[in-house]
Amino acid sequence: MRATTTWLCLMLFLLALLPSPVVAQSSQPIDPVDLETFIDGMMAAHLEGNHIPGATLAVVHNGEALLLKGYGYADLATRTPVEPERTLFRPGSTSKLITWTAVMQQVEQGRLDLHADVNNYLDFAIPATFVQPITLAHLLAHTPGFEDIGEGLFVLSADELFSLEEYVKRHLPARILPPGQVSAYSNYGTALAGYIVQRVSGEPFEEYVERHIFAPLDMAHSTFHQPLPTELASDMASGYNYTGGVYRKGGFEYIPATPAGAMSTSSADMARFMIAHLQDGRLGDARILEEATAQMMHSQLFTPDLRFDGMAHGFMTMRVNGRRVLHHGGDTPLFHTALYLAPEENVGLFVSYNALGGALVRDALFRAFMDRYFPAPLASVTPSADALQRAAQFVGEYHAVRANQSSMEKVLQLLQPLQVQATEDGGLLVATGVANETYVEAEPGLFRHSTREDRVLFQTDADGRTWMHLSDMTPLTSFRAPWYATLSVAATLVVGGILLFLLSAFGWLVAFVSCWRQKAPSPRLAVVARWSAALFGALLVAILAMLVGIVGDIHPDYGVPRIFFGAPPALTVLLALPFGLAALALAMVVFAVIAWLKRFWGWFGRLHYSALTVTAMTVVWLFWYWKLLAL
């Protein structure tokens, strides 16, 4: 746990002795005119450069909304401008902060215990996979140890929507890690926490937050209801996907895991929410959390290392210009959002964009804001002479712990690996597929970003597994994949196997024609053996083509694969075909044995067929390992 500085502890102690809450005022006032000019310039560049039709923004400081502004359009066809007081955006997972606030309210009222088994509050059982039970504290820190499940997270129509109770019971994920060990982002965990609030309060979740959070804070343009209430529906911004040089308008995104990301809100409402949290639960005469509860919520709950800020109670934390920042991003296919609070400066920023490009610029916006108004020099780091040697031990391909292990979703790990390489000066280059980030060694196993305070930490456990932690995104822990589970090995086996089988089939066809002309036919079993291998190669090509087709079938309005919203009929066929591969591979094993016993072909031909058989069995193992062959 990162130690709180002595003066801050003293200040909190003195504040606790005062008869009424006192909000610390920043010693650096922000000029509203300068702020608007600065933000206007940033947002203009972001919208134009990243094909974003519109955005909504709020900046709060010292208990006031310093800037509330809409940018661009809520709807391109009607040229409807974004209005910060009225226009609703879909903040995705930033909604979780409302859910965690609701949980802390129930803790405050004594209905919930952060450290009790969550089964105490449920009408169904979380399996006792591990000795340690899952608690609400684990859910708040994203450390319950659940695998990730994408199925059922989004649907495209109200007819497909099902209740929160149905979601948590129908999509219960497997427990793959002991609770409290690793922080791995869990939408299900947040949905489960919201369902617990619903059960102990006796109110539907949507109505609970409306009565106990939105109403006290006068957040009249916020709701978790889906579809939107009639009085709010006309204020909903449209989301867009920019593709092929045009903007395609998507529909309303329904989220069955309601507490995990289903809120619709305005930036003015989120300004009130931010002020309440910066003022330890109070906004004017209203209070959503007692001061002590709010301070607990903002305090550290989990960290993988004492040198990291880690997770607060639902908020992620990071350091920007020496300040501790509470934050949470959120993404739907169409909307991309982030909320940042810097309690030491009593400042907060909320921004939401209605197109994919927002995901690329939201963090840059906040960091530029901090650099302008709360700057701090970045201390230099000089790696030691043997840094290169240490850096080499962390090189490899890393996969997110936030992944599925029991269904075909597991294969998604191969589509989004992190590649870590050592640099010549003993640093590390982390390639995310979107950007290449460089880190410099600060201490053994701890590397700091070359231009920011963000750090990356490597730890090796007793089983020899290497973990990678990011200081600004604690729940996105990764582990170094074993060599046989890397993208390069999988691609080599599949693509190399296909080429090998196709070349072999072509060679056999030439040999068959030659034997036919010479009227020297091969034994029937030898012909069947080769046909089995040829069919294996053809089926492997068909499976790969179908897999690429399904994953590559992008919904033009949302910019994500259609499978994201539900399994297509072709998926049933795809999952059946690997059984054909397994049957053909087993047949090849039998034929390989017969070929050696019966002395088919020559010795080189038998070696060649044996090599094909080994390749076939390895490919089948690969399909089994990545859950594309569910035995």
Q: What is the pLDDT of residues 110-149, one digit of tens each?
A: 999 999 999 999 999 999 999 999 999 999 999 999 999 9
Q: What is the pLDDT of residue 507?
A: 66
Q: What is the pLDDT of residue 511?
A: 58
Q: What is the pLDDT of residue 308?
A: 87
Q: Where are the beta strands (DSSP E) in 145-185?
A: none
- Cβ–Cβ < 8 Å for 81, 74: yes
Count of domains observed in the chain: 3
Burial of 111 (C-beta count, 10 Å sphere; 0-12/13-18/19+): middle
- pLDDT tens by residue, 480-537: 999 999 999 999 999 888 888 888 877 666 555 555 555 545 688 888 988 898 899 9
Q: Which of 630, 2, 16 is nearest to 311 (CA)?
A: 2
- pLDDT tens by residue, 420-452: 999 988 899 999 877 899 999 999 899 999 999
Residue ending a domain, among 481, 504, 521, is 481
User: In whole angstroms, what is the distance from residue 256 CA to residue 262 CA?
Assistant: 8
234 lies in a domain?
yes
595 lies in a domain?
yes
Please indicate, yes or no, whether residues 441 and 398 belong to a single structural domain of this protein. Answer: yes
379 lies in a domain?
no
Please indicate, yes or no, whether residues 276 and 294 belong to a single structural domain of this protein. Answer: yes
Please indicate, yes or no, whether residues 447 and 502 belong to a single structural domain of this protein. Answer: no
94 lies in a domain?
yes
630 lies in a domain?
no
Please indicate, yes or no, whether residues 356 and 456 belong to a single structural domain of this protein. Answer: no
Please indicate, yes or no, whether residues 40 and 92 belong to a single structural domain of this protein. Answer: yes
Q: For the chain, what percent of residues have pLDDT higher than 90?
A: 79
Q: What is the pLDDT of residue 8?
A: 29
Mean pLDDT, 10 residues at a time, the chain of 631 residues: 33 31 55 97 97 98 97 98 98 98 98 98 97 98 96 93 96 97 97 98 98 98 98 98 96 97 98 98 97 98 92 97 97 98 98 96 97 93 84 94 92 91 92 88 92 94 93 94 94 89 72 53 80 90 92 93 90 93 95 93 88 93 93 64
User: In whole angstroms, what is the distance from residue 425 CA to residue 144 CA?
Assistant: 38
Residue 245: DSSP 8-state: T
Per the structure block, which two tokens stand in for 531? 């046909």
User: In whole angstroms, what is the distance from residue 581 CA to residue 533 CA?
Assistant: 10
321 lies in a domain?
yes
Q: What is the pLDDT of residue 602?
A: 86
Partners of residue 455 on adjacent β-strands: 448
260 lies in a domain?
yes
Please indicate, yes or no, whether residues 495 and 620 belong to a single structural domain of this protein. Answer: yes
Residue ending a domain, among 481, 515, 549, is 481
Please indicate, yes or no, whether residues 584 and 529 belong to a single structural domain of this protein. Answer: yes
Q: Where are the beta strands (DSSP E) in 298-372?
A: 316-320, 323-331, 336-342, 347-353
Please indicate, yes or no, whether residues 191 and 209 belong to a single structural domain of this protein. Answer: yes
Amino acid making up residue 327: H
- Cβ–Cβ < 8 Å for 477, 184: yes
H/E element holding 282? strand 282-283
Q: Cβ–Cβ contacts within 10 Å for residue 163, how many? A: 14
What angle, 0 to 180 degrees and rounded to 10, lies between the N-to-C axes of helices 96-108 and 187-201? Answer: 40
Please indicate, yes or no, whether residues 239 and 288 belong to a single structural domain of this protein. Answer: yes
Residue ending a domain, among 328, 346, 373, is 373
Q: What is the pLDDT of residue 307?
A: 86
Please indicate, yes or no, whether residues 332 and 194 belong to a single structural domain of this protein. Answer: yes
Q: Where does 384-464 have alpha helices with state H?
A: 387-392
Please indicate, yes or no, whether residues 451 and 564 belong to a single structural domain of this protein. Answer: no
Please indicate, yes or no, whether residues 471 and 541 belong to a single structural domain of this protein. Answer: no
**Domain that residue 357 falls in:** 6-373
381 lies in a domain?
no
Residue given tokens 């400066």 in the structure block: 345
Cα dihedral value 225, 229, 235, 241, nearest 10: 50
What pTM, to 2 d.p., does this model score? 0.91
Per the structure block, which two tokens stand in for 405? 């292990």
CATH number at residue 196: 3.40.710.10
Q: What is the pLDDT of residue 218?
A: 98
